[in-house]
Structure 1
Amino acid sequence: MGRAVNRRRVLAVLAAALALLVAINALIYSLYRSDVRAVTGTLDDRLSALGVTSASWLASIGDAGAPAGAPVDRSLGALLDALVRDNRLEDAYLIDPALRVLAGVRTPAGAPLNLLRVDEDRLARAFAGEASVGTGYSVANATVEAAYFPVRRAGSTRVLTLEAGAEYHAPAVALRRTYLVAVGLTALAAVVFAVGLGLALRALERARLAHGRAERMAAVGQMAAMVAHEVRNPLGILRGQIELARERLAPAAPPREQERFVEMLAEVDRLNRLTEEFLGLTRDVALDPGDVDLGALARAVADEVRLLAPGADITASGALTVRADAAKLRQALLNLVLNATQIGGPAVVVAIEVADDGERARLSVIDDGPGVPAELAARLFQPFVTARAGGTGLGLTAARRIAERHGGTLVLESRPGARGARFSIYLPRRPA
């Protein structure tokens, strides 16, 4: 239920973020289009004013197209060259009614007119007296703007052609570049938001799980207090009475009756251990850290469990030193190995591995038993959940609690294609 609610909240947040991103990009695009129209209009007006002024100057000079005494091509060439240079144009040239180039910058005088670069309809209208500014031709995916201006002198009309390319339209190009950067930044912001949201949700999920564990531990604590109060004292009295009866009656009792005294004492001890496990889950006694040789600890636990499960094949390998509470770490490892022998059966093979895992130390218990049922894997570390008949479901919970108190964790790791289970304690390579 909690995960479903979180999923709906995540989808709502993502939908809102996507809607906001679309709105922001729509606003940016609207501003961009408005600015492009304004800049393009300004550049067109400037080109038009430049052409009209230049055409008027050309119409006012001598019939030859130059002041008295100056060569025609030199005067026109100087004017056109200044037009191109000062206004960052592509070209400027003068055409007569016979479509001959009288003078030009990149199109020299006497060169044939390149009709592929000319809008013949607008050129004809220019000879008829109509000036115009518009799209001319394209070169390498770049559009060149062409402007035609009539130059009238003594009954004759010539046309001044100005061509403006990417350099003239640099402000519009810069505006487009700014727009693309803005879109890129909003996309980057969306990615950062998504990543941040994912990390935040992971943190929330971890906090939710930790809160759930804390609530379960609180419930266990309450039960442990009840058990300590209601069970331990009666168990102590019961054990004393059994031992007293054993001393008085056992010497004269048949062997089977003597065995029953032993069985009763064993059951009382088992209940005492269960009580201690209850209490151990809730009592956070301060850690007593020191240098712990994990290899030596693994071998000691293996030797101890061999006495309890003589048929089991238990090995220990590896060596690594960490800073930890040796007694508590031993208890966690003992729980794991005992769990493996109890579930795996009398001939189970158990391997205790110590390994360096980068910034962490790994302490693994691997067995070839029946493994953990899939339906239990997700709940295995919760109190009272067990895969063993007669188990309390507290050993793994206590082991994970000990690992977490050391700044580490205990996990059940998958073994694709292999039989059994693998439990690993990961501990930081730093002081506890």
Structure 2
Amino acid sequence: MRILVIGNGGREHALVWKLAMSPRVEKIYAIPGNPGIAQLAECVDIGIGNNEALAKFAGEKGISLTVVGPEAPLANGIVDYFTGRGLKVFGPSQAAAELEGSKAFAKGLMQKYGIPTARYAVFSDPDQATAYIREHKAPIVVKADGLAAGKGVIVAMTEEEALRAVDSIMRDHTFGAAGSQVVIEEFLQGEEASLLAFTDGTTVVPMLAAQDHKRIFDGDQGPNTGGMGAYAPAPVVTAALQADIVRDILQPAVDAMRQEGRLYCGCLYAGLMITETGSKVIEFNARFGDPETQVVLPLLASDLVDIMEACVEGRLAQCEINWLNQAAVCVVMAAGGYPGDYAKGEPIRGLQAAAEEGICVFHAGTALRGDTVVTGGGRVLGVTATAETIPAAVQKAYAAVKHIDFKDVQYRKDIAYRAMNR
């Protein structure tokens, strides 16, 4: 069969890498892809916002299954467009993807159906948002309502920081239309975890719990990023706790969406805070997490194509999903200056030297200049290692990182420190 993967980041490289392992797959196309993906798939330059051109390509190439990586095409209705033309596609519809596309919608759904989450209020007037912050004090969390590439969340430890966040989002329009509303939430104390799940709209099958590292610097210091690394399985989510999360959060969310006439099919991502009073939802995403995908998929023992087809065809309950009894760690190598302004076009050295058994170097923001791979984004590479234990995977990942270099490279030196401290 022929597969099409939409997207060009580390998540999509991991998806292509895993899908390519299926004996059922004869060819993979990626739109637009990247230099790492190009080693496994044919990359084609079509705008990922052009549903008509994407569907035309899928029809002409006889694509059996399209897998949508990023959130923007989902919010743009790619799944509805493809389905309407008889094309099989893995991902939620436009109506279902609003679970990620609008934080206000997601919070309203959770409140209506009793899904545990932080107390919150929604504002479209910056003066009212400011008054609310002054009344409730810091620490407090300010979020742009719409899609902001994982950067529209400010965990404000001081009142001044929270007020600046409102000004930035609502008055300076830092995130454009995504900031026309803000969601302001209580600050939750605990440990974060990500639990992704496969779903066909009725059945929910969790993947292995992972933990992302959002802040740019060691010790969780500095501004939030799209994610500086991850590891799985996250020991904070025990087998018993995972069962509780499926029962109290993931299954109710999928059931709620179905009851709202928004059948949710694809990958559902729950960003969680594990508090003393139980797990609470920080956010839902309507797709695979990045960089969590780079640590979860290397531990999947089953055929990803079979699972995705079962989701699309509504028969996930009959699908057996198995996992390796191993650990995976991903260290993100980022451009100097990220998550602020950063340079592009810096040559990357040592990619071949880093490649060994049990190591995957997933390309997140790279480009080609002639035959040379150069930096092309803020998060440049995700260096992932698998091993028997988390400490062994950490050692292996950082040994691989040492082989790779580019100008002003930055990366965290403490990925998986919480697991190590246990």
TM-score range, shorter chain: under 0.3
Larger helix share, 1 or 2: 1
- Greater RCO structure (CA 8 Å; 6+ sep): 2
Larger strand share, 1 or 2: 2
What is the TM-score when the length of structure 1 is the normalising length?
A: 0.21
What is the TM-score when the length of structure 2 is the normalising length?
A: 0.22
